[in-house]
């Protein structure tokens, strides 16, 4: 009897939670597919009579949406790749060697996760201005890379620590240098961890808004979040277009997440536990 | 040996250099700005003014409101996210059919940006055509529409609802991973002593995952405190500044006011609060080790 009650509770809780999680996504997708007049009609339509792609066509007409999508992909992927290279090196060193300053470096990386980042926003703006990088994709690639180095290092370090050091030592006895042992032996074993770090970095970059708002003014260089942000200011009432934009900006991260969610979860928890 | 030192150096140098130049340097520069009159539109008039930015902050009702809101925002969001997340993790611990698919749908909010989440909830909370008002009316829970975003009484609650929706997944993920690492021998031993469901939870499960609980609540509170994205997307501090937290007010001062001095002063106050919180938290939980986390 007690067991039945428990499994009933379990079923109810899990179902209710799932409905609450899915509903906002459903609602924004449905809104994006409704004709303009149905979006604001009473009573609300939970299931549209007619489905239209007009809102999607419209956002490409009223704005350079394909350019924003391109910018977002370019910046997010480039920064994620660069951060991988840099973080693999630092994570490997921090996982395998002990040396003076080791603890301090780890601490410095951890601390970046806790600082209120906006304190640095204004000086960064001035630095970018001095380096003539305002209104360039380069500024965002640089900033996203830097921003992700500490977390990616911590995460990858967790993965390196799971691989026994004897693996590359054997290769080095056979005459490999440390570099080639790292590239040829360790990195292939680490691929799941590297994939999860890359995906995590990509999603973070794809979603970043505030640095992009500060640094990018030029319409042709905007990323998706910045475009959506200026959308809100310009077309506050056009919820058809806005929901279409939201759906388009959500799709890549959801696809990636559905595909690689196991890796991400493992990466997050590994990095945290072994830190 | 010399080779090894070279390897260590060249492996760390890019990461260290970039973080020092583009994180720590601007960060300390920002701290200096808190003691300066520093407005983006009046850069010729930059000069040190001592504690004036701090004094101005504590005289500003908007700031005091944001200070109060920050506490409310962190406390409610954290408790609710943790509670719902822990229950979810406990229920998902045992394998059931379709758990993988369930996990995908249950956790996807984690992949969205806070700004977009705020925007989507803004659409749902709308007082005229919002679906939440419509559903509440349909089920007879309310009898007239609520101005979730225009009524200061409700606006902060609305932000917290969106934030809880967003953050449950984080706790569920972390706690689920911790739960799955509890060695089964511990349960077997407890069962031999005659422990049943509830007792096993209190005496075996929770103590074992306590380090994860402490670390996740500590870190998550800091992130919730620091991240204004949902508020920016949902109410952007409105109506009339009633839903600003410290970080969103700080962002507001930068983006709309260009007042870097005032913003940095708020940032320093935030840091002091975070520091006190961390010290207090670690003292209470006696978890000095979490510092290594």
Least confident of A186-200, B75-89, B257-271: A186-200
Mean pLDDT of A9-32: 96
Note whether A90 contacts B12, CB cutoff 8 Å: yes
Mean pLDDT in residue range B237-242:
91
β-strand partners of B37: B47
Q: Is the pLDDT of residue A273 over 60?
A: no
Single out the residue of B269, B195, B290 nearest to residue B35, CA to CA.
B269
What is the distance between the alpha carbons of residues B178 and B172, in angstroms, rounded to a whole number? 10
What is the band of A271 on the pLDDT scale with cuts at 50, 70, 90?
Answer: low
Contact residues, chain A, for B226 at CB < 8 Å: 114, 116-117
Residue B287: predicted pLDDT: 59
| Cα A49 from Cα A35, distance rounded (Å) | 9
Length of chain A: 275
- Alpha carbon of B258 to those of A121, A211, B34, B163: distances in Å? 11, 14, 13, 28
Span B96-122, pLDDT tens digits: 888 888 888 888 898 899 999 999 999
Is pLDDT at B62 greater than 90 in this prediction? yes
Arithmetic mean of pLDDT, B59-74: 97
CB proximity B87 to A under 8 Å: yes
Question: Who contacts B105 (Cβ-Cβ below 8 Å, separation ≥6)?
Answer: A18, A21, A22
Provide the shortest C-alpha distance from residue A274 to chain B (in Å): 8
**What per-residue confidence (pLDDT) applies to B210?**
92
Query: What is the distance between the alpha carbons of residues B54 and B268, in angstroms, rounded to a whole number?
Result: 9
Residues A199 and A254: beta-carbon distance below 8 Å: no
Choose among B12, B84, B255: nearest Cβ to A93: B12
Do A24 and B177 lie within an 8 Å CB cutoff?
no
pLDDT for the residue numbered B290: 45
Does any CB of chain B come closer than 8 Å to the CB of residue A209?
yes
Report strand pairing: B36-37 vs B47-48.
antiparallel
The per-residue pLDDT for A56 is: 96
Those residues with Cβ within 8 angstroms of residue A25's Cβ, 6 or more apart along the chain or in another chain: A250, B108
A10 near B CB under 8 A? yes
Tens of pLDDT, residue by residue over B213-235, are 998 999 899 999 999 999 999 99
Percent of chain A with pLDDT over 70: 95
Sign of the alpha-carbon dihedral angle for B112, B116, B120, B126: positive
pLDDT over 80 at A235, yes or no: no
Give the ipTM.
0.91
The reply to whether residue B119 touches residue A99, judged by beta carbons under 8 angstroms, is no
Give B139's pLDDT tier (boundaries 50, 70, 90). Answer: very high
Using CA atoms, how far apart are residues B228 and B275, in angstroms rounded to an integer?
A: 19
Closest residue in A to B293 (Cα) is A275
* Nearest-angstrom CA–CA distance, A219 and A240: 22
The alpha carbon of residue B65 is apart from the nearest alpha carbon of chain A, in Å, by 19
Average pLDDT over residues A225-245: 88
Q: Are A21 and B105 a contacting pair at CB < 8 A? A: yes
Sole residue written with tokens 């040996």: B1
What average pLDDT does the structure give for chain B? 92
Q: How far is CA A46 from CA A50, A237, B118, B143, in A?
A: 12, 20, 21, 20
For the cut 50, the answer to whether the pLDDT of residue B199 exceeds it is: yes
Q: Check whether A275 has a pLDDT greater than 50.
A: no
Cβ contact A146–B23 (<8 Å): yes
**pLDDT (average), residues A204-229:** 95
Contact A17 B106 (CB under 8 A): yes
Asked if pLDDT for residue B293 goes beyond 60, the answer is no
Over residues A8-29, the mean pLDDT reads 96
Q: Where are the alpha helices (DSSP H) in chain B?
A: 2-19, 25-33, 52-59, 61-92, 99-107, 114-125, 131-138, 152-180, 184-192, 197-200, 206-226, 229-234, 246-255, 260-285
**With an 8 Å Cβ cutoff, are A147 and B23 in contact?**
yes
Best mutation site among B110, B111, B112 for testing chain A: the one with the most A CBs within 10 Å?
B111
What is the rounded average pLDDT of the residues B122-137?
Answer: 94
Which of B235-241's residues contact partners 24+ apart within 8 Å by CB, and which partners? Answer: B235/B118, B235/B122, B235/B149, B235/B155, B235/B158, B235/B159, B238/B149, B238/B155, B239/B149, B239/B150, B239/B151, B239/B152, B239/B155, B240/B152, B241/B62, B241/B65, B241/B66
Indicate the helix (H) or strand (E) that contains A113. Answer: none
Chain B residues within an 8 Å CB radius of A14: 88, 91-92, 102
Instruction: Examine the pLDDT at A255 and tell me if it is beyond 50.
Output: yes
Q: What is the pLDDT of residue A48?
A: 86
* B10-51 pLDDT tens trace: 999 999 999 999 999 999 999 999 999 999 888 889 999 999
Higher pLDDT, B81 or B100: B81
CB B274 within 8 A of CB A114: yes
pLDDT tens digits, A40-95: 887 899 998 899 999 999 999 988 999 999 999 999 999 999 999 999 999 999 99
Element holding B47 (H helix, E strand): strand B47-48
CA distance B32 to B100: 50
In angstroms, the CA A22 to CA A11 distance is 16
In the predicted model, is pLDDT for residue B2 greater than 80? Answer: no
- Cα–Cα distances in angstroms (integers) from residue B14 to residues A82, A193, A274, B11, in the given order: 11, 21, 23, 7
SS3 (DSSP) at A140: helix
Across the A:B interface, residue pairs with CB atoms under 8 Å apart total: 219
Radius of gyration of chain A (CA): 23
On whether any CB of chain B is under 8 Å from the CB of A150, the answer is yes
Question: Least CB-CB distance to B271: which of A116, A225, A268?
Answer: A116
Is residue A221 scored above 60 in pLDDT? yes
Decide if pLDDT at A151 tops 70.
Answer: yes
Residues of A in contact with B113 (CB under 8 A): 206-209, 225, 249
């Amino acid at each position: 009897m007690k067991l039945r009650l428990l499994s009933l509770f379990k079923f109810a809780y899990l179902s209710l939670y799932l409905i609450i999680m899915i509903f906002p996504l459903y609602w924004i997708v449905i809104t994006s597919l409704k004709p303009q007049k149905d979006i604001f009609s009473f009573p609300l339509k939970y299931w549209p009579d007619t489905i239209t792609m007009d809102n999607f066509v419209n956002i490409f007409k009223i704005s350079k949406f394909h350019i924003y999508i391109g910018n977002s992909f370019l910046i997010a992927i480039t920064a994620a790749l660069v951060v991988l290279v840099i973080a693999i090196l630092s994570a490997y060193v921090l996982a395998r060697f002990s040396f003076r300053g080791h603890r301090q470096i780890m601490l410095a990386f951890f601390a970046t996760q806790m600082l209120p980042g906006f304190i640095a926003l204004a000086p960064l703006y001035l630095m970018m201005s001095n380096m003539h990088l305002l209104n360039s994709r380069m500024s965002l690639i640089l900033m996203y890379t830097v921003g992700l180095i500490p977390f990616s290092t911590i995460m990858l370090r967790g993965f390196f620590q799971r691989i026994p050091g004897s693996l590359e030592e054997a290769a080095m006895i056979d005459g490999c240098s440390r570099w080639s042992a790292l590239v040829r032996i360790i990195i292939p074993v680490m691929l799941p961890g590297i994939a999860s770090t890359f995906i995590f970095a990509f999603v973070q970059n794809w979603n970043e808004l505030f640095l992009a708002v500060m640094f990018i003014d030029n319409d042709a260089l905007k990323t998706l979040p910045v475009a959506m942000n200026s959308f809100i200011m310009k077309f506050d009432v056009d919820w058809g277009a806005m929901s279409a934009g939201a759906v388009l900006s959500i799709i890549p991260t959801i696809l990636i997440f559905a595909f690689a969610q196991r890796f991400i979860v493992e990466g997050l928890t590994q990095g945290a536990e072994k830190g | 040996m010399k080779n090894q030192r070279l390897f260590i150096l060249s492996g760390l140098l890019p990461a260290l250099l970039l973080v020092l130049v583009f994180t720590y340097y601007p960060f300390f520069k920002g701290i200096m700005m808190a003691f300066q009159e520093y407005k983006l539109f009046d850069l010729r008039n930059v000069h040190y003014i001592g504690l004036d930015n701090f004094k101005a902050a504590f005289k500003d009702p908007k700031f005091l409101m944001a200070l109060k809101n920050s506490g409310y925002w962190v406390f409610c969001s954290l408790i609710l996210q943790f509670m719902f997340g822990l229950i979810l993790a406990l229920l998902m611990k045992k394998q059931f059919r379709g758990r993988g698919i369930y996990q995908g749908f249950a956790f996807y909010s984690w992949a969205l940006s806070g700004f977009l989440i705020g925007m989507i909830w803004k659409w749902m909370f709308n007082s005229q055509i919002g679906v939440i008002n419509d559903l509440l009316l349909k089920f007879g829970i309310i009898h007239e529409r609520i101005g979730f975003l225009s009524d200061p009484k409700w606006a902060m609650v609305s932000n917290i609802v969106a934030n809880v929706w967003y953050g449950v997944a984080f706790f569920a993920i972390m706690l689920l991973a911790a739960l799955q690492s509890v060695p089964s021998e511990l349960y077997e031993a407890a069962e031999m002593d005659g422990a049943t469901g509830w007792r096993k939870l209190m005496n075996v499960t929770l103590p074992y995952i306590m380090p994860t609980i402490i670390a996740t609540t500590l870190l998550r509170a800091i992130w919730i405190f620091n991240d204004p994205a949902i508020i920016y997307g949902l109410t952007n501090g409105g109506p009339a500044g009633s839903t600003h937290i410290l970080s969103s007010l700080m962002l507001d001062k930068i983006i709309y006011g260009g007042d870097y001095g005032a913003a940095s002063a708020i940032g320093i106050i935030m840091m002091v609060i975070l520091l006190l919180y961390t010290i207090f938290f670690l003292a209470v939980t006696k978890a000095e080790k979490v510092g290594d986390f």
